[in-house]
A = this chain, B = another copy of it.
C-alpha cells in the first residue's frame, strides 16, 4: 500500500502509485534509467506508504538496525556522525529525491543520524526486497551501484573541500552547490532558504559558526550575495565561482 502526499491519500489508483514513484521520492532512482511500466509497477509494490517526519525528528539514528533505505519524497535532512568523544560532524545535507541510509549497508547498522530540518516525507525501501528485485532487473541493480558510487564521489569532493580550501572558499562552494541542487529540482538557483543553522553549516564545512556568519557578512558587503537571516540571494554567482578557483593552493 503506497500513499502519496500531494495526491489525496484515499485516491490510490495504480496510476497514482506510479506517479508517486516517478514524480517524487524516487525521481533519481527510477526516472533516468528507463524501466518498463511493468518493472516500475514491481518497484512500486516494494515501496511503503510515504511516512511523514516532522522537523527536528530523526528518521533513524546511529546504532539502530538497518532494514531500509529512505528516499526523500519531500523535505530536507541532515546526516551526521557523532564521534566517541561527542563531536558532531555533519556528513551531508539531503533534499527531495535523494536517497539516504546507504552507509548502513556495510554493517547492518545505521552509522549516522538522519534528522529532518523541515517537515518532510520519506518513502521506505526495504533493502532485502530491493536487492531481490534488482537481481531480476539488471538496470536497477546497476543503478543502485551507481547511486552508491555517486555518494563516494560526493564524499571525495567534501574531503577536497575540507582538506584544501580556506573558509570563504568553502562557504562559496557550499552556496553554489545548494544553488545548483535547488535549480535541478525546479526551484530558484539565485534565491533560496537555508534549512540549517550556521552551526550545522560550520560542522559540515569544518568551520565554527562565527566564521560562517562572518564569511556570509563579508560576501554581502562585497555584493556577492544578500543575506537575510536564512534567506540567501545569490547576486554574483560568477564571483563565487572565481573565489573557489582563484585561490591557487
Q: Which residues of A contact B (CB under 8 A)?
A: 81, 83-87, 89, 91, 102-107, 111-112, 131-132, 134-135, 138, 141-142, 144-153, 155-160, 162-164, 203-206, 244-249
> What are the residues of chain B within 8 A of A245 when measuring CB–CB?
84-85
Contact B86 A163 (CB under 8 A): no
* Residues of chain B contacted by A147 (CB below 8 angstroms): 106
Q: Which residues of B contact A155 (CB under 8 A)?
A: 152, 155-156, 158-159
- Please measure, in the bound complex, the distance between the C-alpha atom of A86 and the C-alpha atom of B245, giving whole angstroms: 9
A158 contact set on B, CB distance < 8 A: 155, 159
| Cα–Cα distance between A148 and B85 once the two chains are bound (Å) | 27
- By a CB distance below 8 angstroms, the chain B residues around A244 are 85
Contact assessment for B164 and A206 in the assembled complex, using a CB-CB cutoff below 8 Å: yes
Query: What residues of B have a CB within 8 angstroms of the CB of A203 in the complex?
Result: 163
A148 CB to nearest B CB, Å = 4
For residue A150, which residues in chain B have a CB less than 8 angstroms away from its CB? 106
Nearest B residue to A206 via CB reads: B163
Let me know if B111 and A153 touch, CB within 8 A. yes
Known: A145-B148, A163-B203. 11 other contacts (CB 8 A): A81-B156, A81-B160, A85-B244, A85-B247, A89-B160, A103-B156, A131-B145, A155-B159, A158-B159, A163-B204, A163-B205
Across the interface, which residues of B come within 8 angstroms of A205, CB to CB? 163
B149 contacts A102, C-beta separation under 8 Å: yes
User: What are the residues of chain B within 8 A of A148 when measuring CB–CB?
Assistant: 102, 105, 145, 148-149, 152
Residue of B nearest to A148 (CB): B148
Report the separation of the CA atoms of residues A131 and B137 in the bound assembly, to the nearest whole angstrom. Answer: 12
Considering the chains assembled together, what is the distance between the CA atoms of A212 and B122 in angstroms?
44
- Which B residues lie within 8 Å of A249 (CB)? 85-87
Contacts of A157 in B (CB 8 A): 81
Give the complex CA separation of A157 and B83 in angstroms.
Answer: 9
Given the complex of chains A and B, what is the CA–CA distance between A23 and B90 in angstroms? 38
Q: For residue A107, which residues in chain B have a CB less than 8 angstroms away from its CB? A: 153
B105 and A146 within 8 A (CB): yes
Judging by beta carbons under 8 Å apart, are B111 and A156 in contact?
A: yes
**CA–CA, A111 and B57, complex, Å:** 35
